[in-house]
Amino acid sequence: MAMTRLRHQLSGAVPGGGTATTVAVLTATLAAAAACWVVAIDQMRGMDMGVATRLGSFAFFSASWTAMMAAMMLPGAVPAVLRCTHASGRVLAAPLFAGSYIAIWVVVGMAVYALYRPHGTVAAGVVVIAAGAYELTPVKRHFRQRCHENSRSGLVFGLDCVGSSAGLMAILFVLGVMSVLWMAVIAVVVVAQKLLPARAVLDVPLALAIVGLGIVVLVAPSSVPGLIPAAAPMPTR
């Protein structure tokens, strides 16, 4: 279903979806995302401590976070990048759009670095439950819809993406901001939501599953993969 939706969006984004420009932009965007996955996984090695994760130096975190966001967010931005390229008529519009889009997430990362602290399982569970509830709010639907519409710039698309993905990213922050496993899980959901229209038959079960995950974090945190490091005492607050 996701692949069918992607093909539909690509063909609608640029007339003559098989043109050299379309192929070049698509290939470059996905190749950049793949390269960033390699970089992010390498930088995050040994950093994941679940709720006890520390972010390291600002320079290290900034580099890691930028690679993470490019890896997670660029695949879902492909239709928007192609629409921008077609509208401008310039191939160089693609890297400018993608770069400004990721720049918004870099700013978010700075806020994360300033506010984030190692925390306990209760805080993690409450945030995950709140994130599940957010999935069903009008605010979420508003920003998700805007992600499917024509975007004037990468900055506007980035702001809409932050609004749409805020709850999902909060889950990553509290379950393991340096976890490759949770990074991959959240990335799949983010990309799917950018490519697929909002449908209650899919969105409601997802929201309930997230709330359920939050309850599990509260009542049985040791059963959640990577949440509590084996060598660390179990935090409660």
Q: Given a cut of 70, is residue 233 above it in pLDDT?
A: no
Q: What is the pTM of this model?
A: 0.86
Closest of 170, 16, 163, 36 to residue 86, by C-alpha: 16
**Residue 65: which domain range?**
2-9+19-223
148 lies in a domain?
Answer: yes
Q: Given a cut of 60, is residue 22 above it in pLDDT?
A: yes
Q: For the ranges 72-81, 88-97, 201-210, which has the lowest average pLDDT? A: 88-97
150 lies in a domain?
Answer: yes
Number of domains in the chain: 1
Length of the chain: 237
What pLDDT was estimated at residue 55? Answer: 94
The share of the chain scoring above pLDDT 70, in percent, equals 88
231 lies in a domain?
Answer: no
Q: Which helix (H) or strand (E) holds 170?
A: helix 154-176
Structure tokens that stand for 182 in this block:
């949770």
Average pLDDT of the residues in 39-53: 93
Give the pLDDT band (50/70/90) at residue 234. Answer: very low
